[in-house]
Amino acid sequence: MQDKLFQLLDNHFDEMVEIRRHLHENPEVSFHETNTAKYIADYHKKLGNEVQEHVGGNGVVAKISGKNPGPVVALRADFDALPIQDQKDVPYKSKVDGVMHACGHDGHTATLLILAKALKQVEDELHGTVVFLHQHAEELSPGGAAPMIKDGALDGVDVVFGTHLWSQDPLGTVQHCSGPFMASADHFTIKVNGKGGHGALPHTTKDAVVIGSQIVNNIQTIVARRVNPLYSAVVSIGKFIADNPYNVIADSVEMVGTVRTFQEDVRNQIEQDIFEIAENTAKAYGATVEYDYGRGYPPVVNHAAETNYIAKIASSITDVNGVHEREPVLASEDFSYYLQKTKGSFFFTGAAFMDGRNNAPHHHPLFDFDERAMLVAAKTLAKAAIDYYKES
C-alpha cells in the first residue's frame, strides 16, 4: 500500500503545486477565510469524502474510512494568511493587497488535500479512519483549534499529527522534539500614570517616560534573576508609546510586550512578577499603573511515543533527507490544544531553498519555500496515518 500511495503522491505533485499557488494568490486573514474554506470543502466533496463545514467557525473536517478495522488518525493543516504585503517577484504573488501567506499555510493545505486524494484511491486497503482537520485562524489568538475541538473535531480521534513547513531548515529534513516543543505566547500592556508638565520644569512632574523606562529595565531581571536558569523564558517589550511634543514631560506612557515560556508554573510566575515590578516601580516614583495580561496559546507538548513513531517512520522514507531531534523553539502554535485533548506529535519539515538564494524567515514579506518540501510532508503524514494501526 505504501508504494502505491507514494507513487500517487508523486503523480499528483504538479496539482499540489497548483493548489498551493492558487491559495498563495488568494489569501484570507484569520477568521475571514470563507472562500478558502469553501475551496477546501468542495475539493473533498468532489473526492467523495465525508465533509463537515463551519466547524468551530471556518474550519473544515473531512474523513476517509478504510475497509479494515483500525484507529482514527487525525492530520491537521491550517489555512489562514497574514496581514503582510507580499513583496516577492514570483508569478504566484498574492493578488490581495496587504495580505499574504507568509508562514506556509498554503503549502500545508495543498499537502493535505493531495494526500486526501491519494488516500481516497487506496481506501479499500486502509486500516481505520483518517480525519483531515483543516483549521482556520492559527495566526490570531484565540485561534481556530480550540473552537474546532469544542465543536467535535477530535471526537473519536485516537491520535493527531501535524507538520509545519519550516523555511529555515534544510529541504526534506524532518525535525522532531519530544516534550515541550513550542512555547506559550502571552501578551501584556502596562500603562504608567504620572504627572506631566513643561520640559523645563521637571521638578514639578512625575515623568512617566522615566518611570516607564525603569519598569522596562526592571522587567528584564525576571528571566535573569527570578526564573530557574534550567528553564527557558522570554520577556520582551515591543512597543513603548508617549505621544508628546519634544518639550513636554509625559503624563502617561503605555508599553506592550510578550512572554514566552514552556512550563505553566513559570508562565504563572512571570505574569505575577511583571505586575509586581510595574506596580512597585511606579509607586516608588509616586505614580500608578494599569495592567492587563492576556493569555495566548499554551505550549506545544509532544507525546513521547508518538514523536518517536514519527522519527522512526520518517527514517524509512527515501525522500526524507535526514531525521533530526531539534531543540524547542519559542514560537507558538495552537496545535497545542489538540495535544492537550489527545496523544500525538507536531514536527517540522525542512523547506529551505538549497540553491544559494536567501531564505526569508516566517512572517516576512519575502517569505517563500521550496515546494518539493510539500511532497516530503505528504509522504511522512501518509505513512504516519497508514501504519499507525500497527502501533495500536
Q: Each residue of 276-318: pLDDT tens digit?
A: 999 999 999 999 999 999 999 999 999 999 999 999 999 999 9
Supply 296's cell numbers: 495566548
pLDDT at 259 over 80: yes
pLDDT at 357 over 90: no
**Per-residue DSSP letter, 384:** H
Question: Residue 143 has what pLDDT?
Answer: 98
C-alpha to C-alpha distances, 31 to 36, 63, 298, nearest whole angstrom: 11, 23, 20
Question: Residue 356 has what pLDDT?
Answer: 83
Question: Residue 38 has what pLDDT?
Answer: 98
Q: Provide CB contacts within 8 A for 234, sequence distance 6+.
A: 183, 223, 258, 259, 260, 261, 330
**Per-residue DSSP letter, 299:** P
Measure the CA–CA gap between 53 and 38, rounded to whole angstroms: 8
pTM recorded for the entire structure: 0.94
Supply 129's cell numbers: 479512519
15 is catalytic: no
Measure the CA–CA gap between 302 and 312, rounded to whole angstroms: 15
Q: Provide CB contacts within 8 A for 348, sequence distance 6+.
A: 163, 164, 165, 166, 169, 174, 175, 176, 326
Mean pLDDT for the stretch of residues 30-56 = 98
**Helices 2-11 and 372-387 meet at what angle, rounded to 10?**
150
Residues belonging to the chain: 392
| 210-249 per-position pLDDT tens digit | 999 999 999 999 999 999 999 999 999 999 999 999 999 9
Q: What percent of the chain has pLDDT over 70?
A: 100
SS3 state at 136: coil
Strand partners, 131: 63, 74
pLDDT at 343 over 80: yes
Sign of CA dihedral 222, 224, 227, 233: positive
pLDDT at 392 over 90: no
pLDDT at 358 over 90: no
Supply 222's cell numbers: 525576571
Mean pLDDT for the stretch of residues 121-148 = 97
End-to-end CA distance of the chain: 19
| 151-166 per-position pLDDT tens digit | 999 999 999 999 999 9
Domain 184-294, second-level architecture:
2-Layer Sandwich (3.30)
pLDDT at 4 over 90: yes
Average pLDDT, the chain: 97
pLDDT at 54 over 90: yes
Question: Domain spans of the chain?
Answer: 2-181+299-390, 184-294
Amino acid type, 215: I
- Contact between 193 and 251 under an 8 Å Cβ cutoff? The reply is yes
pLDDT at 147 over 80: yes
The active-site residue, picked from 33, 78, 80, 368, is 80
* The 3-state secondary structure of 9-50, one letter per residue: HHHCHHHHHHHHHHHHHCCCECCCCHHHHHHHHHHHHHHCCE
DSSP string, 61-91: EEEEE-SEEEEEEEEEEE--BBS------ST
Measure the CA–CA gap between 204 and 307, rounded to whole angstroms: 62
SS3 state at 145: helix
SS3 state at 147: helix
80 is catalytic: yes
Q: What percent of the chain has pLDDT over 90?
A: 98
The active-site residue, picked from 33, 106, 138, 158, is 138
Measure the CA–CA gap between 326 and 192, rounded to whole angstroms: 41
Whether CATH 3.40.50.150 fits 2-181+299-390: no
Phi, psi of 112 (to 5 degrees): -70, -35
